[in-house]
Amino acid sequence: MPTVRTHPVRGLGAKIRWPSQIPLFKTTNAAASSSAARGGSVVVERSSRRERMAEKKGRTEMEVRPDGVAVIAVANPPVNALSIDVFYSLKDNYEEALRRNDVKAIVVTGKEGVFSGGLDINTFGVIQRNKAEQLNDYLPIDTMASTLEAAGKPSVAAIDGFALGGGLEISMVCQARISTPTAELGLPELQFGVIPAFGGTQRLPRLVGLTKALEMMLLSKTIKAEEAHQLGLVDAIVSPDDLLDMACRWALDICESRRPWVHTLSRTDKLESPDEVREILKVARAQVQKQSTNLQHPLLCIDVIEEGIVSGPRAGLRKEAIVFQDLVFTDTCKSLVHVFFSQRAAPKVPGITDIGLMPRQVAKVGIVGGGLMGSGIATALMLSHYPVILKAVSEKSLNAGIDRIKEQFRKGRNVSLHSLLSANLQSQVRKGKMTEEEYEKTLSLLTGVVGYESFKDVDLSVVEDVNVKQQVFADLEQYCPSHCVLATNTSTIDLDLIGGKTNSQDRIIAHVMPLLEIVRSKRTLPQVVVDLLDVGKKIKKTPIVVGSCTGFAVSRMFTSYTETALLLVDCGMDVYKIDQVCTEFGMPMGPFRLLDLVGFGVALASRMQYPENSSVSVNKSMLVPLMLEDKRTGEASQKGFYKYEGNRKAIPDPDIIKYVQKSRSMARIMPDNELLKLDNKEIVDMVFFPVINEACQVLSEGIAIKASDLDVASILGMGFPQCRGGIMYWADSIGAKRIHAKLSEWERKYGQFFKPCSYLSERAEEGVPLSAAKNNANAHL
């Protein structure tokens, strides 16, 4: 018996990029139950006739070649989305091809170099709005099986570009799949809170094996054509010019029995043994429960896959349809769809991206400082093929910075909270995704210098060192060309202060990575913002544009995250209880674990940036200063709120209580027994409502243009759980009135720290969502 693999899904918590399209279907309970009872089709509702007339989009086109192959191409640009109209057109074309005597075989493909990216995600809203309607227009979910897979003529998929979601599912119904070398295949549905709904849960394991299928579905992982070929998901790889002819020849070979006629649902050769299946599913469930504690749909996906293996593929298809219907109406699905659209709306900035400006070419980037931030930024830029000049104050510092970059390339490990490494390059080399030649070529983009002379032809200059930014910008102004964008990597310091000693404030901008929080002052030119938005896109970061203030958007909002936690500890709550509740809520780490990671010195320095008259609520707790005096600096010293041993595992430290007691004594605060009675939900509210309050203030001041930008910022900048839609989306799910009432209650009991801002008070009184747009004449943007 083969060895049982006990780690089927590695890196379950890894961040996967969002594809632009996914497949989507909706079943009805009554129809599904009735169909299951009679052993017939499980059905899927079509949109109402009125909506279909208003939204009708897409078709398939069929051409019968002289050799007797009917080529059916999806035509719905730009990604050949699988609308309901496309499905009906596909079904009609297939039925015509099956009726025609001059058609021997069928090839399915997509026009304009894209097979299909799946269904437009806007369809989620259509389905969710029609939940209560009794629709009479149905599309059988087993149309593929009955019309395509069970057809008397063979089908082959000719795949170029993307085959995602429903696109891949269509191809898996075919008897074979031929692709180009650049094709990408995947089932990304779980990124949106649902599961594959057109047979993907049943066919993919039968084509690539259970272990790989779980990885692709649970991680929403796309794979390249070469890997798909090795796995057996793709039968052959050919050039784009040869794709259609090869697919047609393959289809004719099947028709004439020169190649096997394969029914995917009948295959079992790739499935592991029953004992292996049980162990793989057991480990997969354990990993999901450990890393996705607030999510049910990954577990349901595993259940559906198991149903098909244990009870047969038809039973699996029926369960797949029923589970999908339940999931599409969940808050998780709605939240994740909101995040998807928010990320795509973020780079659209009124008055900047809508006035016809085109990004200027950035051919070379200069970076001042080779520390963790500088070397990380250099790595991200080089991965996107930008030549980089790295300047340091001495040869020693320069060599250290270059060595750090080489180490990042080789080991691919994260070296700081804001590390910019976008891939594990050693892993890519090991898996054959990056050759040694490519590795050396990427490193050749780096030039190290100790002077500014080489900066005369750079298009973008990045400054790392916070302490010398003013002088460095003055120097850069002298050496860099007049068109060069001057950018600073910072998370707190106001741009007007940084650029105070220059005459170039119109081209100074800040960025905070990996979110790429693009910060502009009132003097920053729109062209400069457009240029940096383009760079952000090319280095695969999600940008938001915000105004300049102390802390900008992310740091300013989430200062309240740690400050509230410190206040609650002074008032009697347990350090580790707060962290536990926050991680169970979905944060990657609690506020005290975060303080350890950032370092107490940095945390206190950031706190000092906020002036006395700032609207930012800064608690005066002495807990961190007391620990810092005792040389507890956080994870770097292996002692902070936690103890750290060789593997960086955070271990609660009982010695913390003496610092807590002293801090309470200095603050003259007696522990509040009422706090100890709070349940987990109430603790979450108490920690995050001040964050919402500060986010409202950021919107009120015009630092952020729209609430959805803060949702993106909270998720990508601080790890706020995606399944909750972002900080403002989550706030609206609670309601301004309740948030205002609780903050007011806490203000009376614990002081001004909890005072609701005027924006929140007004929205609560008017009953208006916190995310609703508001005109602001004083906006920073």
* Residues carrying an active site annotation: 169, 189
| 544 vs 392: CA distance, rounded Å | 29
CA distances from 231 to 227, 234, 773 (A): 6, 8, 49
Residue pair 342/728 in contact (Cβ under 8 Å)? The answer is no
Residue pair 702/781 in contact (Cβ under 8 Å)? The answer is yes
Q: What angle do CA 563, 568, 684 make, to 5 degrees?
A: 85
Sign of CA dihedral 574, 580, 581, 583: positive
| 556 vs 610: CA distance, rounded Å | 9
DSSP 617-684: ------HHHHHHHTT--BGGGTBSSEEE-TT--EEE-TTHHHHHHHHHHHHT----TTGGG--HHHHH
Nearest to 110 by CA among 237, 240, 227: 240
Element holding 155 (H helix, E strand): strand 155-159
| 777 vs 760: CA distance, rounded Å | 18
64, amino acid identity = V
User: Residues 6 or more apart from 668 whose CB is under 8 A from it?
Assistant: none
Q: How far apart are the first and last CA of the chain?
A: 65
Q: What angle do CA 527, 529, 534 make, to 5 degrees?
A: 95
Write out the two tokens for 520: 């502009």
| 75 vs 114: CA distance, rounded Å | 10
